[in-house]
Each structure stands twice: as structure tokens, then as C-alpha cells.
């Protein structure tokens, strides 16, 4: 992911890519040469030459690297999940507040053009149905499918629902790894909204579907193609409307939000607290799945 972030930042006119860092310095050099910036093998080398950092490292190192960058006074965009546990997440939130710097979490689907269009029409969702399927990739396998894939839809559900989480139930299975590869979760919110979420990283074809129902409209979104379909009743007749939000660049929009938030124009789209809430829900889903696996194998 780091190379994609670097490309988006390098393409902007309102900021400058200060450096590329990778433990594999040869890889860092190749990417830095492409974008005309220095390269380092140690992230601490950017302290003093950068104002902000995008952290795209394995999840278990998020806290270490993000803490050091925040302590050095850098604004931070850290990939999701924010950290491995709530203690680490809360530590990062406290540190960002203490230093007065931005802490943004890379829940990139919040910047998906189709999702933003859908969210703009939802006043009080009653039912959220999400399906996120992917073929197996070694990248992301350092965490289970809940923290790798489902956390996107957990975050979107938290953004859409108006109430607090009231109840969670979940099941899941191991397939190709020793951790959870398929999971299904049912989230009930205090205002009556219910979310049913499915995620798999052992599927043949990628799927990113989101359906949202409220009393006056049903919206179906393909977050991969950008297609939206609205269904509602007008004058006793069923009316359908389709929209196409294809061609959007969610990662570029996320980077823009980060740069803009640093300038003080808008708050971070998903701040540390937003990242913590998504992580808390994902960890609870993972806990419930593992408890069930212990009972049924």
C-alpha cells in the first residue's frame, strides 16, 4: 500500500513527498527514484524533514511507528486497523491530542464515491447488508479476515447507523490459514438498526456489495464498480433510479482529506477515535468467532 500512497502524494501540488522509507532499502530507493525524493531504511530519518507521515507497515508495528512519529510532532495517517488492540489505539489518540497533531486512520471506503452518495441519502437506516469477498492474498494475512476486510464494513455501518452498538453475534471459520478466513457478523444498534456483514478472503471473485434499507428507500451499492440503484415507492408505483460513480479514486480522496485536515480546513474524516470504534467492534467480532470455534472446532 505504501507505494500507492507515495504516488498519490507525489502527484499533488499542495505538498511535497519528503521521502520514502522501507526496511528493504533497495525497494525504497526504486520508489524514491520514481518520485524524485530521498529514501531511507529507518523511519526516524524523516524526523526534521517531514511535516507528516503515512504509515503503511504490518499492523503489529502501527503503534511503535505511529507513536514515534506523533512524538516527533508529525501528523499521521495510519493504515487500518489503527492498532492491534484498544490499549495501543487509545495510546495513539492521547498522544495525538497531547502533541496537537492530526491522527487519521486509513478507512479508505469512507472516501468511496458511491458510498458517499449513498450516505448522503440515508437519514435513518433500518437494515444494512454488506458482503465483502476477496481471493487469498499474502498481504493482509498478518491479521484475520475481520481486521483485514470486514473492518471496512464495520466502519461503514458505524458511520451510517445513528445509535450505539447494543448487541453483537458472529460466526466464522478457518480455511487456508490458522486464523479466521470467513466471518459473518450481526450488529444490533440501540436505535433498532441491524447490520448483517459477511467477509471472506478465500473467494474466487472479488465482491464489495452494500445494501441499505430505510422506510422510504432501498439502496444497493457496488462499491467496486461505483454503481448505485435506488428503489422507492412513488404514488403507489415502484420507482428505480440508477447512478454511476465509477472512475473515482478513494485513495486519492483519502490523501486529499489528510492534507486538507493538516491545513486546518476540515477535521480528519476518520480520526483516531473513529479508528478505535471500528477496531473495538472488529475485536469483539473476532472474539465471538474464536469462542465459537473452540466449541465446534
Q: What is the CATH number of the domain that holds 164?
A: 3.30.360.10
Regarding whether 148 and 286 lie in a shared domain, the answer is yes
**What domain count does the chain have?**
2
Q: What is the pLDDT of residue 139?
A: 60
On whether both 219 and 207 belong to a single domain, the answer is yes
CATH assignment of the domain containing 264 = 3.40.50.720
Task: Answer yes or no: do 158 and 290 share one domain.
Answer: yes
pLDDT (average), residues 61-89: 97
Tell me, yes or no, whether 124 and 214 share the same domain: yes
**Residue, of 89 and 178, whose pLDDT is higher:** 89
C-alpha cell of residue 240: 428505480
Same domain flag for 126 and 97: no
For residue 260, the enclosing domain spans 2-107+253-271
Same domain, 136 and 264: no
223 and 143 in a common domain: yes
When pLDDT is cut at 50, 70 and 90, the band that residue 236 belongs to is confident
Instruction: Answer yes or no: do 22 and 32 share one domain.
Output: yes
3-state secondary structure of 42: coil
247 CB neighbour count, 10 Å cutoff: 7
Contact 171, 289 (CB under 8 A): yes
Q: Please give the torsion angle defined by the CA atoms of residues 180, 171, 116 and 251, in that order, rounded to the nearest 10 degrees.
A: 0
Q: At what angle do helices 272-296 and 86-99 cross, to 10 degrees?
A: 170
Strands of the chain (E only): list them.
20-21, 39-40, 52-55, 75-79, 103-106, 127-133, 165-173, 182-189, 194-200, 207-214, 217-222, 227-234, 237-244
The pLDDT assigned to 141 comes to 67
What's the pLDDT score for residue 297?
67
Q: How many CB atoms lie within 10 A of CB 213?
A: 18
Per-residue DSSP letter, 108: G
Average predicted confidence (pLDDT) for the chain = 95
pLDDT band for 233, please (50, 70, 90 cuts): confident
**101 pLDDT higher than 60:** yes
- Parallel, antiparallel, or unpaired: how do β-strands 75-79 and 103-106 relate? parallel
Cis peptide bond prior to 248, omega within 30° of 0: no
Strands 217-222 and 227-234: antiparallel
User: What's the pLDDT tens digit per position in 238-292?
Assistant: 999 999 998 889 999 999 999 999 988 788 889 999 999 999 999 999 999 999 9
In angstroms, the CA 270 to CA 284 distance is 20
User: Does 285 lie in the same domain as 263?
Assistant: no
Kindly indicate the confidence band of residue 140, based on its pLDDT and cuts at 50, 70 and 90: low
136, 77: one domain: no
Percentage of the chain exceeding pLDDT 90: 88
State whether 118 and 38 are in the same domain: no
How confident is the model over 137-149, as a mean pLDDT? 81
User: What global pTM score does this model have?
Assistant: 0.94
Distance of alpha carbon 63 from the chain centroid: 17
Do 90 and 123 reside in the same domain of the chain?
A: no
Amino acid at each position: 500500500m505504501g507505494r500507492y500512497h507515495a504516488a498519490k502524494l507525489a502527484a499533488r501540488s499542495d505538498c511535497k513527498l519528503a521521502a520514502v522509507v522501507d526496511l528493504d532499502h533497495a525497494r525504497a530507493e526504486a520508489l524514491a527514484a520514481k518520485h524524485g525524493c530521498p529514501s531511507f531504511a529507518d523511519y526516524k530519518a524523516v524526523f526534521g524533514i517531514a511535516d507528516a507521515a503515512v504509515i503503511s507497515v504490518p499492523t503489529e508495528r502501527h503503534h511503535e511507528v505511529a507513536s514515534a512519529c506523533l512524538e516527533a510532532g508529525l501528523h499521521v495517517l495510519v493504515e487500518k486497523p489503527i492498532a492491534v488492540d484498544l490499549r495501543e489505539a487509545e495510546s495513539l489518540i492521547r498522544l495525538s491530542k497531547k502533541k496537537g497533531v492530526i491522527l487519521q486512520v486509513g478507512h479508505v471506503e469512507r472516501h468511496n464515491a458511491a458510498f458517499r452518495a449513498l450516505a448522503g441519502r440515508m437519514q435513518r437506516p433500518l437494515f444494512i447488508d454488506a458482503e465483502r469477498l476477496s481471493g487469498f492474498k499474502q498481504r493482509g494475512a498478518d491479521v484475520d479476515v475481520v481486521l483485514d476486510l470486514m473492518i471496512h464494513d464495520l466502519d461503514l455501518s458505524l458511520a451510517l447507523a445513528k445509535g450505539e452498538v447494543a448487541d453483537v453475534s458472529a460466526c466464522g471459520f478457518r480455511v487456508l490459514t490458522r486464523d479466521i478466513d470467513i466471518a459473518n457478523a450481526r450488529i444490533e444498534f440501540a436505535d433498532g438498526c441491524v447490520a448483517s456483514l459477511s467477509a471472506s478472503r478465500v473467494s474466487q471473485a472479488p465482491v464489495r456489495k452494500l445494501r441499505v434499507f430505510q422506510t422510504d428507500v432501498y439502496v444497493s451499492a457496488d462499491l467496486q464498480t461505483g454503481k448505485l440503484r435506488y428503489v422507492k415507492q412513488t404514488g403507489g408505483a415502484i420507482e428505480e433510479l440508477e447512478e454511476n460513480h465509477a472512475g473515482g479514486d478513494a485513495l486519492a480522496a483519502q490523501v486529499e482529506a489528510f492534507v486538507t485536515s493538516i491545513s486546518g480546513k476540515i477535521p480528519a474524516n476518520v480520526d483516531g477515535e473513529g479508528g478505535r470504534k471500528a477496531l473495538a467492534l472488529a475485536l469483539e467480532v473476532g472474539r465471538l468467532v474464536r469462542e465459537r470455534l473452540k466449541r465446534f472446532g
